[in-house]
Structure 1
């Protein structure tokens, strides 16, 4: 059980990378993350749940998922074992340099309300050709394979930009996830996204939504893939990163503004998540793109 095949390419400049994985058995991401680069997720085989921003989407083979910059996301198991996927990471700055007149078009899929793109059946042969080419180039690594990979990546972006969005009006899920309780979880997540800086607790939020704290904890995890406290901390730390990069606020003030009433706890949680203490993160100011995310 576990990873059967893995092939990766990391552009030396750090501007983009690709990671292909074929897994056996059940798998859910253990690293809950957001990052300053775009991410394209293509599911070759299997079925996954993908939490993005404030709701979960059921992703099936042939679907593309477009994750914007600094958007919280996580993939999890649907109960169906085995999956095969490709993840592409790329920087906005690289697109602006490489395709200055087309950057808005190529990044359009990352701005849609629904991040999942299901291409029309008539485009499947072209999509399969691109994906098969990516897998072949990463596997065989013949001369110039990085050029072929880069062209394939841009082809995918252009194809998705031209395709209609999928189910923009609501969560792209079926079955249990359409239940009233899961719909309520979307409202809970949206509430947390708007009020994370306040002194929220599981018990208080449960009372506000008229459910038990035990039930909220269980259903929240089922619907999003995150534990309640874990999700709250990630929201707060994500905003703390932004303020450290973009503002001149004192670090103690940033901790308070993002919902941490204990500065020591803030420092430890931030270092665990970002790999650097807040002051060092601010000095670095430019998080590095890291490839091969476990998704």
Structure 2
């Protein structure tokens, strides 16, 4: 993925909503990269996750933490913290970061900071980071979403992080579910069953279905359908394949069933979506649970 920073500015505030201000993948090599939370005047929050190299976080409790790959932090502005790049410790600091604002974000962020502590260690395969990188990639592929879709993503992502932090920052069953996500990504075009997905998690179908719905907000089969429709949208936008071929390539038994599911998610037929996708209304599509 290309590394860049997306900045979102809105003409009028959206009352009662979470707003995405910045979403970026950055690489710094200059000691001038230095942010003092007490000097920040804007009221906002940030999550920053290291993908390569390292940086340093001096927290308000007097401790200094090295932010090597796989480590991240939640912070609030203004706030008693300092984070910076130290060229003596690393030749670069590469990180993904998300900055949010809006009244609803602050009580949720305080819970996140309380649950995860000054820094947190997360695999790139964790659900929290998977969702973050997936949305970053989607923005890069499709351009900036409208503010409502961005707000929905930010809120959904915070809920995912809160769920992951409920038990000392770890979800015991996250590895099982991540195996399922990876399996669906590879095999969504095949006729998958609930039992087959449960087997990937090494759980009984009943418990797997309950756990999946609790963590994701969808049933496993509904998530599979959503994933298939997302891929179908990509093919409709970027290829000239017929609707019947797209249906077959995304795991649908027939064009008629594909059309029914597609209409359920997007309120129009695949043919209509393809015909109208270049208009302002159909410019960007994201499917969130």
Q: TM-score, normalised by structure 2?
A: 0.46
TM (norm. structure 1) is: 0.46
Structure of higher RCO (CA pairs closer than 8 Å, 6+ residues apart):
1
